[in-house]
Amino acid sequence: MPDLWIVDVIKRYGNVINRWGNRYLVQADDITAAADAVPIIVVAEKSFHSQYVNFERARVSSYLANDTLYDNLYLGGTGDIVPDGPALPAITCLDVIIPVSGSGRPSRKFYHPFFSCDLMSETNPQEWDGLFLPDVETAINTMVSDCSSASCPIVDPQGQLWTQQSYAVPGFGFHQFHKQSPRQPL
């Protein structure tokens, strides 16, 4: 059975020093195969992040405790969505739920896309505009499919495969940035 690898995609808002990331677990035979997931994940993430977000680097590392094997891949570029005004506060996030094969709790990702107010619902200011949520779901589902095809499928910590049935929650998520683990991907 392939090993588990951590893929951290590190982002930054504009020229602000603070960085944050989204962590994915992939199954792959080695670190090189795990790194094949990086461009797939980054293309998907860029499709639903605003141009305020800079994609700096990805870190691929072993999931094993005390293993020092890792690789940094420098990315560059911004999100694809052109903002129409100032960004919403950083605490505002896009919440995506991704079911897993087998049984158990689905995986959940909180993305800080730094959208502007133009992507808020006109009828409910506590929700995203529902017109772009299917695009987010399609990007996540394509990412899951492409990673599986590239022999580096995305899994949860129990090793269960993500499925292609993601759901972008219409309501705003509020997710604070928190203290990172001692093994910072910066």
| Helices 133-149 and 37-47, axial angle in degrees (round to 10) | 170
184 domain-assigned: no
Q: How many domains does the chain have?
A: 1
Which residues are CB-contacts of 48 (< 8 A; sequence separation ≥ 6)? Answer: 79, 80, 81, 94, 111, 113, 132, 135, 136, 139
Looking at residue 87, what is its pLDDT? 83
181 domain-assigned: no
pLDDT above 60: residue 73? yes
72 domain-assigned: yes
Looking at residue 15, what is its pLDDT? 78
Question: Where in the sequence is the domain holding 79, given as residue range(s)?
Answer: 3-174
The predicted model scores a pTM of 0.89
Looking at residue 138, what is its pLDDT? 94
What digits encode the pLDDT tens for the residues 21-57?
A: 999 999 999 999 999 999 999 999 999 999 999 999 9
Looking at residue 119, what is its pLDDT? 75
179 domain-assigned: no
The DSSP annotation for 73-95 comes to EE---B-SBPPSSSBPPTTEEEE
Looking at residue 186, what is its pLDDT? 44
119 domain-assigned: yes
185 domain-assigned: no
- Which of 76-85, 90-99, 114-123, 154-163 has the least mean pLDDT? 114-123
Mean pLDDT, rounded, for 10-31: 89
